[in-house]
Amino acid sequence: MRIGIDLGGTKIEAIALADDGRIRARRRVKAPRGDYRATVTALRDLAAAVAAEAEEATMKAPVGVGIPGTISPATGLIKNANSTWLIGHPLDRDLAAATGRRVRLANDANCFALSEASDGAGAGHAVVFGAILGTGCGAGVVVDGRALTGPNAIAGEWGHNPLPWPHPDETPGPLCYCGKHGCQETFLSGTGLELDFRKHTGRALDGPAIAAAAQAGDAAAEAALQRYENRLARGLAAILNVLDPDIVVLGGGLSNLERLYDAVPRLWGAYVFSDTVTTKLVKNRHGDSSGVRGAAWLWAPGEA
């Protein structure tokens, strides 16, 4: 058994996961925003609670934690976290000391990809690219069952590359929170879709409402979704040209747009440097549970 924790900006979820993928216990609490020490305490208490609920009495199950950031290889401290109170702290070491358990941390997008590669929509494939299309736009890469991190701990930071093959009206592109213009996150996130629709119509709708309007015959909403599909096709084509994954798994709120799974593969062939494209584009299997399951799968069955 292993314990997985998904540390978000507003909530923290923990599970106890058996070797066969069954969830034996689950708990969720609000995240203590802005308070690092309270966060460590909340993580410690959640790990103890799910361990007790799973009746783990004779062993110390290891803990995997998915975070909205990563550990700097240079300092061993958290960096690139939008939960800014984590930045500059040795979260893995502090949590290990607090729980008395082995602890591993990974970026939450890596956890999503690992979950889907382990026993989700990407199971059985050697190279899995898991892209999250939500409030932001991130990704993780799993090869032969292991999430890639890289020497700079930025493998999969897909959202902070420029949109490929930009159209004239896409440059320089919107300002990203990272300080650059035209990052894919500003186009391919749910926020990016909403801003694009507002730019062209002056109307404020979220992603599901734009999709519903398009289905009801709203021409402006349909045009916004077609722009989005073309941009996603270009963004993923660049990944195919570099990584050539077996499968691309989509997560996040926009992964629920069923039309993407037909439109994007139909469009990306124009940008992929190959005569044929056999890579599959699929929806995630575990939904909102992918992050916490992937955190647990940071410990392989033989290690837990």
Mean predicted confidence (pLDDT) in 11-18: 93
Q: What is the pLDDT of residue 249?
A: 98
Q: Round to whole Å and give the CA distance between 216 and 302.
A: 51
Whether residue 241 contacts residue 120, with contact meaning beta carbons closer than 8 Å, is answered with no
Q: Round to whole Å and give the CA distance between 197 and 179.
A: 22
Mean predicted confidence (pLDDT) in 170-181: 93
Mean predicted confidence (pLDDT) in 249-268: 96
Q: Is the pLDDT of residue 304 over 80?
A: no
Q: Please choose, from the candidates 303, 289, 300, 304, the residue with its C-alpha nearest in 3D space to the C-alpha of residue 6.
A: 289
Q: What is the pLDDT of residue 301?
A: 77
Q: What is the pLDDT of residue 57?
A: 58
Q: What is the percentage of the chain residues whose pLDDT exceeds 90?
A: 86
Mean predicted confidence (pLDDT) in 112-122: 95
HEC string of 16-73 equals EECCCCCEEEEEEEECCCCCHHHHHHHHHHHHHHHHHHCCCCCCCCCEEEEECCEECC
Query: End-to-end CA distance of the chain, in Å?
Result: 6
In terms of Cβ atoms closer than 10 Å to its own Cβ (0-12, 13-18, 19+), residue 6 is buried
In this structure, the number of other CB atoms found within 10 A of the CB of residue 37 comes to 12
Name which residue leads in pLDDT, 54 or 300.
Answer: 54
Tokens representing 79 are 């960096």
- pLDDT tens digit string along 188-236? 999 999 999 999 999 999 999 999 999 999 999 999 999 999 999 999 9
- pLDDT tens digit string along 47-80? 999 999 998 655 789 999 999 889 999 999 999 8
Residue that is written with structure tokens 């940008």 in the block: 271
Name which residue leads in pLDDT, 301 or 108.
Answer: 108
Helices (H), 156-189: 185-188
Question: Between the CA of residue 296 and those of 44, 131, 197, 301, 304, what are the distances in Å?
Answer: 15, 19, 38, 10, 10
Q: What is the pLDDT of residue 66?
A: 95
Mean predicted confidence (pLDDT) in 43-50: 95
Question: Between the CA of residue 176 and those of 152, 183, 192, 231, 238, what are the distances in Å?
Answer: 21, 6, 10, 16, 20
**Helices 219-243 & 190-201 angle (0-180, nearest 10):** 140
* Domains delineated in the chain: 2-111+289-296 (3.30.420.40), 124-284 (3.30.420.40)
Q: Please choose, from the candidates 164, 4, 159, the residue with its C-alpha nearest in 3D space to the C-alpha of residue 80.
A: 159
Mean pLDDT (the chain) is 94
- pLDDT tens digit string along 123-158? 999 999 999 998 889 999 999 999 999 999 899 999
Whole-structure pTM value:
0.89
Question: Between the CA of residue 32 and those of 24, 49, 201, what are the distances in Å?
Answer: 25, 17, 38
Q: Round to whole Å and give the CA distance between 15 and 27.
A: 7
